[in-house]
Amino acid sequence: MVEDCITDGKRIGQLLASELSGRESGPLAELSVVDADRDATPSEDGTPAYSIASARRQIGVVSLFPEYARVTLTVGARAVAESSASKGIPARREDDAVVLRVESGAAVKQAIDLIGDAVGG
pLDDT at 26: 80
Task: Enumerate residues 6+ apart whose C-beta is below 8 A from 58.
Answer: 34, 51, 52, 74
pLDDT confidence tier of residue 28, bands split at 50, 70 and 90 = confident
pLDDT at 105 over 60: yes
What are the chain's domains? 9-103 (3.90.1150)
Could you tell me the sign of the dihedral formed by the alpha carbons of 79, 27, 64, 110, in that order? positive
- Mean pLDDT, to the nearest integer, of 1-30? 82
- pTM for the predicted model, two decimal places: 0.91
pLDDT at 121 over 70: no
pLDDT at 6: 79
Length of the chain, please?
121
- Could you write out the DSSP letters of every residue in 38-105? TT----TT-EEEEEEE-SSSEEEEEEEETTEEEEEESSSHHHHHHHHHHHT--EEEETTEEEEEE-SG
Cα gap 52→76, rounded to integer Å: 14
Higher pLDDT, 120 or 78: 78
* Rg, Å, the chain Cα set: 13
Q: What is the tens place of the pLDDT at every residue in 32-42? A: 999 999 999 99
Where is 35: in which H helix or E strand? none
Cα gap 4→16, rounded to integer Å: 18
